[in-house]
Amino acid sequence: MITIFERVSTALGSLSPAVPYAIAPYKSTGALPDVFIAYELISGNPEAHADNVETARTYLVQVSIFSRAGFIGLPDVDAAMLAQDFVKSDWRQLPQDPETFHYGLAKDYTFTEFF
Amino acid sequence: MATKTSLKINGLDDYIQALANAGEDINKISREALAEAGDILAAEMKRNVRVVTGERSRNLVDHIKIRVPSGEGDYNYREIGIIHRLEFTDAATAIQANAVEYGSVHNKAMPFVRPAIRSKKAAINALIKARLVAAGLADA
């Protein structure tokens, strides 16, 4: 069974053209790319049990897209995540970073795993 | 091509009368249940929140609050967390809380609101249902 992190990585790795991505915080030895993606697990809560055994768990994953150019022409993260059976959830615009000048868009996705 | 239709439902009079009779009780019970739920959520947010150190950092635990709106009408709710109203939260604290919850270019998110909602959702739903059932306003 693949982990939630592998599932996110598979989704983001399928973006075309490719966009640099990493689990948050995105680390770079040099200057940050103009566009990059950072993801992280926000929560993973059990949803159902049977005979004292967990039978379902829902994960909430945040995928943050950072771009110096703003929000036009961002990579189609939705399509990539939906292809890995995630469900779209809330979006939130992040304040522009005063040092790197990246704009940020945080997108939440859920995935329910059944055992 | 039809542009309208008619629907008719019989037998609503008794139901509407029952709702009207119970209206005051429903609001009272709802507000009491929401108060309990709010306390649960606020406690979980405080348990989750990381203390960020630094000269200009706020202790967000002290800023997690519950706003109780005026109890008028039938729309009952509570606001829980970092309340986006100046009388509750100053601008610098709101900016810090946003960065803690959602992260930034430099920092990963250290969420305290979303995990609290996710982890307590089932318990709060059960609590509200139990209060309505106990008051005879819902079936068990």
Show the tokens assigned to A41: 């697990």
| Domain extent at residue B92 | 24-134
Q: Check CB contact of B104 with chain A, cutoff 8 Å.
A: yes
Of all residues in chain A, the one with the smallest CA distance to B117 is A43
Q: Would you tell me how many other CB atoms lie within 10 Å of the CB of residue B122? A: 13
Return the higher-pLDDT residue of B72 and B138: B138
Sketch out chain A's domains with CATH numbers: 4-114 (3.30.70.1700)
Q: Check CB contact of B118 with chain A, cutoff 8 Å.
A: yes
Number of domains in chain B: 1
Q: Rg (Cα) of chain A, in Å, rounded?
A: 15
**Closest to B52 measured CA to CA, from B13, B126, B104:** B104
Residue B50: pLDDT band with limits 50, 70, 90: confident
Cβ A107 vs Cβ A62: under 8 Å: yes
What's the mean pLDDT in B86-113? 93
**Closest to A113 measured CA to CA, from A85, A80, A91:** A85
Residue B51: pLDDT band with limits 50, 70, 90: confident
Interchain CB distance below 8 Å, A26 and B105: yes
Residue B63 per-residue DSSP state: G
Q: Which residues of A touch B118 (CB under 8 A)?
A: 42-43, 45, 58, 60
The answer to whether position B95 is within a domain reads: yes
pLDDT value of residue B55: 63
Measured over the CA atoms of residue B51, residue B55, residue B57 and residue B62, the dihedral's sign is positive
Q: Backbone phi, then psi, for B80, in 5-degree steps?
A: -130, 135
Distance CA B87, CA B77 (A): 19
Residue B61 per-residue DSSP state: G
pTM of the model: 0.85
The answer to whether position B4 is within a domain reads: no
pLDDT value of residue A89: 97
**Closest to B114 measured CA to CA, from A85, A62, A113, A111:** A62
Please give the ipTM for the structure prediction. Answer: 0.90
What's the mean pLDDT in B118-123? 93
The answer to whether position B16 is within a domain reads: no
Show the tokens assigned to A44: 């993973």
Q: Check CB contact of B91 with chain A, cutoff 8 Å.
A: no
Residue B59: pLDDT band with limits 50, 70, 90: confident
Cβ B125 vs Cβ B136: under 8 Å: no
Question: How close does chain A come to B12, measured CA to CA in Å?
Answer: 37
